[in-house]
Chain A
Amino acid sequence: MKKQGFDSKKYKQIKRRQARQIKSQTHDPALNKDGILNTAEFLKSRKFEIGELEKAQLNSKFASSTRAFQSLPRTLRRRTASHNVKRIPKRLRKRALREMQSSDTPASSKRGKLRGRELYRARTVSSLLRLATRLQLHKQLPGNTTLGRLRMRQRIKELNKQLKSSRDADSIDFNNTIGSYDISSVNSLASPPRGKVKYTKRQLEFTWLNTHVWHAKRAHMIKRWGWQIPLQPTQKCFRSSHRAFNLDGAVVWDKSFIGTCIIQGDNEASIVELVNQVIVGKKWTKLKSDGLSINTMVESDDDIIGEITIIAFQSPATKRCVIRAHPSIYTEVFNLLVSKRTEDVEIVDCRYALGSIEITGPVALSSLATVLKPVDPSSANAQIFKELCCQTHLPDKTMFTLMVQDPRLANRTKPSQRSNADPLDSLIRMKATRENLDQFTIEALLTSKGRMESYKDQKSLKQVQVELNKPVDERQPGKPIPVMLFNNDGVWTVLVPWFWTLPIWHALVHIAHVKLGGLKQTHQLKFESGKLFFPVDFPFTQVGELENKLNADVKREKWAKKPKGKRVNYDSIKIGNSRGEVGDPFGCDWRYLQVLRIALPHVTNNRSISRTSVWNEQFQRKIEELHDVYNLIEDVKQSKVNKLSKLPIRLSSAVEYPSTIESPLPVTTINVTTLSRGSIGDNARLYSIPTEDLSEWLSTIDSKHTNGRKNHESYPQCPSPQHLVGFITSGTYNLHEGHATGVGCVDSVWTTRSERFLLLRNVGVDVVRLVTWEAVDALKAMRPTRR
């Protein structure tokens, strides 16, 4: 910096002085010799001065923010940006260097430290030397071959022989140098991929995604359902993801952990039969039309397992159904299908053979089109993709199939819309001709042979670089990759052969305005559009119940760690006229709700306590008075009751309560919205309005102070626990709606009373809020609704 003629301290001084100077016009040309004011000139000079004043304000503001990295937006800040200029964007590096020299922070220097290849080489040499001395000491080689006198070359030869024989024992036929191979298995579960040797030990129980290393640097990971899954980006992103979903970009997920299996055979009837045996709701009469994706739920023995997506494909030779299921239920669904299949149908486990990437937002499709370049742009399926790929919104369930180039070698230019083509015409044409579906591509993606073919001579990063250094016409493009894109409620899913996920991912995350998402962002996306998120909002399934319990345990532990004086005492908290939280304060206590709702209709004497507990001949508690119900709940809690349903609730629109607690309580999924004020949290309690309080509650809707402001102070108190009808499974502030909303379940029998309002109370709080509700059809919640 000495070239400039002054040192950085002086530079800083000058900068500060300049920033504080305000230019003004001392010689005013407006007043001429005769003392007459020239209005135009006068206004012009005042305008100039005001402009200067404003500029000076800004100047001195920015001059005082001392360091370059402090003026960067959050997303561009890096951990050691104060020491290392390379962590600062190029446009600010000069300034950063200058500032670094003036301050006391020493710039990190490269000298004296080994880095990269040099470091690697040094390490190898040191470990080899260590090994050599050890070998010399023991005078032997592995495999009990004492070879004290053998020469070095002979030793190496011997070792290579041993290595080769051990490798041949469980060899896989690779057709590339980087170890990609197809891992699928027919009618049985496939074994997880081996992963890099260096990291094998870390993924014994929980398999890594292809993009694991990339994600681990940028996101919090969790170990669940046999996978290591990104939970949420390290950077806070609640608001920015909301904007990216709806307004100004896209959010991308690696969803390879969602399991995929394929039902295939040549007999259409037996495939339809098999599908009909497992799905909930309306059965299929024939195989759905080609490429149509359907969201539905699976059940076995009337118990709902969870939600799945089915995509049907028919070619003259083979009929296929691709089934995608959440990893928590995947093995169950797969085993169910295998157990129910007939001989002419086979089920292929493609959990580790097909990777998937999801992306949503206004730039989602155009980003995909930037990365995925068709090998043959003149083919019909590539043409239709080109005509539609610039659109921000396409109809639900639109599908494209493409054979694409290696994204690392492709010319990744942004797609542009042809001005003469009307996208609507293309859509109508596509519906009629189905030229978006290319049978060859589908076959290549859904068969092991086709996927292996795409891995043939798959290039490593170094090989890609070698290719890129060649002139364009001499490059070896490599084998085409079969890709399938489909739109599921605004979210585009890309299905690719497993080992192509990483190259596509790397290309995708380099596009401007594309943000990373984790599980929490999926939850947020579903929540904002009022939909159910599996498994959290599916408490009527085994997995949902487990999830609820796990979350409750985490909260309980956290609570227990706090000192007594600093935590809410849920047992003695005053709620309405009673004391203590209703049910388990850390989760949704569905068992409490079930016993309560089923036992309440048996109560004949609602008012007084005339007796103590009474049992009948079968040693069952007699339910006649209100206190009997609470005592029964207490019995269940202390597991004194043997005959209980497996799950406390089930999704059903039944209009009558079951007679005993041996059968689950029918519930309906709902969406609630606050009427005026109040937040909604997870596990909030939902009460029906007692008839005697109804008029008072309704009057609070319009109640106003004398100054015209809304009255929020005088609410009636919380009803007694016998009015409990449900819980909120996920509730928070909804950025899409602009106020708090919640998703949860309520007693189905109560919904038949068709009351408009509910009362909502958060856990550990005495305040009750009036909310409206609407039923969410759990099946249709996943089906097309327009944004």
Chain B
Amino acid sequence: MADASRKKPRLQGKLVKHAAPSQFKYSNLQTTVRIQHKTPYISAIKRVDTMMKALKGRQPKKSYITVLGMGATIEKTMNIGVHFQAQGCRVEVFTKSVEVLDEFLDQDDSDDESVLRKRSVSCVELRVYKPFDLQ
């Protein structure tokens, strides 16, 4: 858990949490899975499975599927990693932190004034490699 002393104090006003900055890459669509709070565990596993089966002919060639989880979904992401490890896949785990934007709207909910602040969130990236019998 985060150290309480390092936690930033809550500002006045309604908090709007913005999505983490991301850039679109077409080839990522077939090689990257982002785990959300509402993503069901089984769906994520099935999605990784199907992507893995289609890996061979992909351009640019990649030998693994990336699974990304942030904040509260780290646990679910790790569970997915464990599942694939048990299936005989090589799984690499990377930890990192992602910066996100918090917006504090003015008290009376007018859109006029708001304060922006950065916050750091832990993130985990799994690389699930194809098992040998599939290659």
Contact = CB atoms under 8 A, between A and B. Distances in A.
Interface of A: 247-248, 282, 288-289, 292, 294, 362-363, 366, 390-393, 395, 397, 417, 422-425, 427-428, 431, 513, 783-784, 786-787
A392 B22 contact: yes
Given A289-B112, A428-B116, A786-B18, A391 B23 contact: yes
Interface residues of B, number: 22
B111 A292 contact: yes
A292 B26 contact: no
Contacts of B113: 289
Given A424-B99, A784-B16, A786-B18, A392 B112 contact: no
Given A288-B112, A428-B116, A248 B26 contact: yes
A397 B111 contact: yes
A423 B21 contact: yes
B78 interface: no
Given A397-B111, A422-B99, A424-B101, A247 B29 contact: yes
Given A248-B29, A292-B111, A390-B23, 13 more contacts: A292-B112, A294-B111, A363-B24, A391-B21, A391-B23, A392-B23, A392-B24, A395-B101, A395-B103, A427-B101, A427-B116, A428-B117, A428-B118
B112 A786 contact: no
B26 A513 contact: yes
B17 interface: yes
B19 interface: yes
Contacts of B22: 391-393
Secondary structure call for the A interface: loop
A786 B99 CA distance: 17
User: Which of A248, A395, A783, A787 is the most central at the interface, judged by chain B CB atoms within 10 Å of its CB?
Assistant: A395
A784 B110 CA distance: 12
A288 B114 CA distance: 13
Interface string B5-22: 000000000001111011
Contact of A362 (B24, B103, B116): B24
A240 to B, nearest CB: 14
Contacts of B23: 390-392, 417
19 contacts: A248-B29, A288-B111, A288-B112, A292-B111, A363-B24, A390-B23, A391-B22, A392-B23, A393-B18, A393-B19, A393-B22, A427-B101, A428-B101, A428-B116, A428-B118, A431-B114, A784-B111, A786-B16, A786-B18
Contacts of A427: 101, 116
A157 B103 CA distance: 71
Interface in B79-98: none
Interface of B: 16-19, 21-24, 26, 29, 99-101, 103, 110-114, 116-118
B52 to A, nearest CB: 18
Nearest to A288: B112
Contacts, number: 55
A191 to B, nearest CB: 36
A42 B111 CA distance: 72
B112 to A, nearest CB: 5
Contacts of A397: 111
Contacts of A428: 101, 116-118
List the 8 closest pairs (A to B, CB-CB), nearest first: A362-B24, A423-B21, A392-B24, A428-B116, A393-B19, A390-B23, A392-B22, A431-B116
A203 to B, nearest CB: 38
Contacts of B116: 427-428, 431
Given A288-B112, A292-B111, A397-B111, A424 B24 contact: no
B4 to A, nearest CB: 24
A695 B17 CA distance: 40
A366 B24 contact: yes
Nearest to A284: B110
A428 B16 CA distance: 15
Nearest to B17: A786
Nearest to A512: B26
A395 B111 CA distance: 12
Contacts of A392: 22-24
B106 to A, nearest CB: 11
User: Which of B17, B21, B29 is the most central at the interface, judged by chain A CB atoms within 10 Å of its CB?
Assistant: B21
A390 B16 CA distance: 22
Nearest to B29: A248
A491 to B, nearest CB: 16
A513 B29 CA distance: 13
Contacts of B101: 395, 424, 427-428
Contacts of B16: 784, 786
Contacts of B26: 248, 513
A38 B110 CA distance: 78
Contacts of A431: 114, 116
Given A366-B24, A424-B118, A787 B99 contact: no
A293 B68 CA distance: 34
A202 B108 CA distance: 51
A63 to B, nearest CB: 19
A432 B30 CA distance: 39
B69 to A, nearest CB: 18
A720 to B, nearest CB: 39
Contacts of A362: 24
Contacts of B118: 424-425, 428
A393 B103 CA distance: 15
A422 B118 CA distance: 11
A362 B32 CA distance: 15
Contacts of B17: 786
Contacts of B24: 362-363, 366, 392
A397 B103 CA distance: 13
Nearest to A393: B19
A6 B18 CA distance: 65
